[in-house]
Structure 1
Amino acid sequence: MVGGGILGLAVARELTSRGDQVTVLEKEGRWAAHQTGHNSNVVHAGLYYEPGSFKAKMSVAGNRSMVAFAQEHDVPVNVCGKLVVATGNDELPGLNALAARAAANGVPARMITPAEAHEHEPEVACVAALHVTSTAIIDFGAVCQVLAAQLETSGADLRLNTPALAIREGGRGGVEIATGTDVVRADALVNCAGLHSDRVARLAGLTPPVTIVPFRGEYFTLKPESAHLVKGLIYPVPDASLPFLGVHLTRMLDGSVHAGPNAVLALKREGYRWRDVSAQDLAETARFPGLWRLARKYPRTAVDEVLRSLSRRRFARSLARLVPAVGREDLVRAGAGVRAQALRPDGTLVQDFIIETAPNQVHVLNAPSPGATCALEIAKHVADQVT
């Protein structure tokens, strides 16, 4: 197993439960160091995704299984629901389409009036809203700690600070993975490397159909004296052509309110700040023709996201569409996450999970949000491919 985020740990747990001996290789010194440890901790309901897709089927099941896992193992979780709000009549068709998709996917949601929306969120501005009851807030880092503890108890070989540097076919079948200190020999390889999943696939001899392009999502936190403006989760009607949900407001388990994220190109695969730059990563991204084709498709969106990244006033203006009482002075810059977004050479943003197989290998090439929500369900699917 290459990758020690929530997905790698969940797949390892599923395999050990089926009687397999598993070795987990994680290049960092802790579990859940990147995407899992830098996300918004939302357990998604499954309303955004194309009916019949991996994301649609796995999100609804994953919402149930992740909440049940948290409750069973005393991981903090709050099934608080959320509002998706139309702030103008021009957004009503999109909201109605989202309600129809929720119904098709089996997501518990209903359209409500502005007066009903104000019962949930007194400060929200909307002409209509979709109330989704199964959305939850969780501590995904704590989920990973439980998974790692279970793996240790089951006898799994857990290796932190252990990157996969080279991969080849084993002499008697299977695979061999060089780590820099030794060679791990296994019957099968599972790649859950997230931001580096395409690189690991190439190390293993595959030509992946996608390239990972890192997008940084930046967050603000509302000042404590302004946190009362948001009671739960408030989302905008998303642009259906993009895999990003738009800047939204999320009350966390500790009562703080996070605002964001935007989506700007990261200058490093793990670039959480503008000054985080990797010449190698940037050159690789710049050489990829899909990036430039994507930029030509959405030039205005790209410019708007960069300007919002650089201007607190612009960021606050986006939030004020949802909650007018939020102003620039209410925002304190918080951390950021980097999304491993799979992009095709023609510039198409991949909307669904991508799981590729080869002899003795399974590669999870695209599993960003709602990947954490779906981790236990993806794990079952991947384990089926291995066995």
Structure 2
Amino acid sequence: MADETIGVVGAGIVGLATARELALRRPGTRVVVFEKEREVSLHQTGHNSGVVHAGIYYTPGSLKADLCVRGVSLLREYCQDRALPYREIGKLVVAVREDELGRMDGLYERARNNHVPDLRRISREEIRELEPHAGGIAALHSPRTAITDYPAIARSFAQDVVDSGGEVRLGFPVTGVTEVPGGIEVTSGQAGIPPAEGWGRVRVDRLILCAGLQSDAVARLARDEREPRIIPFRGEYMLLKPERTDLVRGLIYPVPDPRYPFLGVHFTPRVDGSVEVGPNAVLALAREGYTRTRISPRDLLGLAAYPGAWRMAAQHWRTGIKEYRGSFSTAAFMKDAGLYVPGVGVRDVVRGGAGVRAQALDRDGTLVDDFRIHRMGRVTAVRNAPSPAATASMAIAEHIVAAVFEDGRASRPL
């Protein structure tokens, strides 16, 4: 239908990629992005480590696997076209113990099924050729794994939306989603306080929710299912001191623990020349809890009232204690890092930044691994889009837009 108005809630990289895809694929459609902050990509996108994942880790046939691999090619082409940073510096997934070799081989087969390009197993000696300071007894080498600047990409997406005749409304926290005849009414404002003229109430024909850390709360406004809930995990980083960044040439990762959707402490060169070490994964005490002192009583009460949170804690409390120990002790944090670059320690790093991961959790305590997208008539809600969502953002956008308009090109129905 021509001359529709499509709303997108959330100006992170997934929301902006979706808005851009709408504007490009459906000429004549008016696209409006609603964002509660005063700038785009302030939360998960703005705290992203910048890795363009090749698709090594994800279950073949899952949305993560399909959309990550597709997303890499789209993102590479976009960055080249817009002169945005995109550097294929390569990644090593390193086994440091014999009991990790079986899991590493399993990753290799998974990556082959996902068509990860140029991946190969390498020996201890080959590790040293690529990374002279690295440890490990064997590794997977992914030479096409890249780094980029996701906030810059998100800003470019936002400009594309505007250039296509769309709008990015900043400072517009969505507080109501109401079905009205022939459409959806999106409202912003507090009860009893009239919103600013022209900013408090917008009617759209369809609405797509890409609200990240607030995705379950915003979805409830649209009367979506209560599960999964978002549980915020803070990832804290160290930075190698400038004089020690030469210890690392590319990305150095551990063989991940299959029980968790987190990849463990790793070494990540950034496009600005810095090198991050981390992250850990500790339960944040606020959805936007980027520091240990940021506490939200409302978020904590919501967490305490959710049975899934208690079931998760009962299953994983030992790992939680270990992660918190690293949060408070630089020596404990760097103990694991030293397995992958022997000799690196407390004296070589300073405290870096932190990000918060919007991790979906089911009622039974299961950490949701795959992307999860719900559709409720005129409203589509992205309920779980953790890493590699930034890598896959343009492919996620294709998938959502194709499925919303039922043109048969989505990789699977929502």
Question: In the alignment, which residue of structure 2 is the partner of 1:381?
Answer: 399
Q: What SS class does the counterpart of residue 119 from structure 1 fall into?
A: helix
Aligned residues with identical type, % of pairs: 49
Question: Which aligned pairs between 1:68-83 and structure 2 lie closer than 5 A?
Answer: 68-83=77-92
1:90 aligns with 2:99: yes
Question: In the alignment, which residue of structure 2 is the partner of 1:132?
Answer: 142
- Please report how far the alpha carbon of residue 174 of structure 1 lies from its aligned counterpart in structure 2 after TM superposition: 1.3
Question: In the alignment, which residue of structure 1 is the partner of 2:232?
Answer: 214
- Please report how far the alpha carbon of residue 286 of structure 1 lies from its aligned counterpart in structure 2 after TM superposition: 1.3
Question: Which aligned pairs between 1:1-387 and structure 2 lie closer than 5 A?
Answer: 1-17=8-24, 18-19=26-27, 20-108=29-117, 109-170=119-180, 172-180=181-189, 181=195, 182-387=200-405
| Cα-Cα RMSD | 0.8
Of 253-262 and 372-381, deviating more is: 253-262
Partner amino acid for 1:61? R
Query: What TM-score, normalized to structure 2?
Result: 0.92
- Output the CA distance in 1 between the equivalents of 2:319 and 2:294: 23
User: Deviations 1:331-351 (Å, cap 9, x if unpaired)?
Assistant: 100110000000000000001
Q: Which runs of 5+ in 1 are unaligned?
A: none
- Please report how far the alpha carbon of residue 165 of structure 1 lies from its aligned counterpart in structure 2 after TM superposition: 0.7
User: Deviations 1:173-204 (Å, cap 9, x if unpaired)?
Assistant: 21001112221100011000000011111011
User: Deviations 1:269-290 (Å, cap 9, x if unpaired)?
Assistant: 0000010001001110111111
User: Deviations 1:188-245 (Å, cap 9, x if unpaired)?
Assistant: 1100000001111101111243000000000010001111111110000000110000
Kept after mapping to 2: 8 A contact 1:362/1:385: no
- Output the CA distance in 2 between the equivalents of 1:72 and 1:208: 41
Kept after mapping to 2: 8 A contact 1:63/1:134: no
Kept after mapping to 2: 8 A contact 1:191/1:200: yes
Q: What SS class does the counterpart of residue 339 from structure 1 fall into?
A: strand
- Please report how far the alpha carbon of residue 255 of structure 1 lies from its aligned counterpart in structure 2 after TM superposition: 1.7
Q: What SS class does the counterpart of residue 345 from structure 1 fall into?
A: coil
Q: What SS class does the counterpart of residue 321 from structure 1 fall into?
A: helix
User: Deviations 1:73-129 (Å, cap 9, x if unpaired)?
Assistant: 011110111000001111111111111111111112110011111111001111101
Q: Which runs of 5+ in 2 are unaligned?
A: 1-7, 190-194, 406-414
- Output the CA distance in 2 between the equivalents of 1:350 and 1:337: 19
- Output the CA distance in 1 between the equivalents of 2:319 and 2:403: 38
Paired residue total: 386
User: Deviations 1:256-280 (Å, cap 9, x if unpaired)?
Assistant: 1100110000000000001000100
User: Deviations 1:135-192 (Å, cap 9, x if unpaired)?
Assistant: 110000110111111111111121000110111101x221001112221100011000
- Output the CA distance in 1 between the equivalents of 2:73 and 2:126: 26
Partner amino acid for 1:34? H
Q: Runs (4+) of structure 1 moved beyond 3 Å?
A: none
Q: What SS class does the counterpart of residue 213 from structure 1 fall into?
A: strand
- Output the CA distance in 1 between the equivalents of 2:226 and 2:111: 32
Question: In the alignment, which residue of structure 1 is the partner of 2:5?
Answer: none
- Output the CA distance in 2 between the equivalents of 1:54 and 1:122: 36
Question: In the alignment, which residue of structure 1 is the partner of 2:408?
Answer: none
Kept after mapping to 2: 8 A contact 1:66/1:373: yes
Query: What TM-score, normalized to structure 1?
Result: 0.98
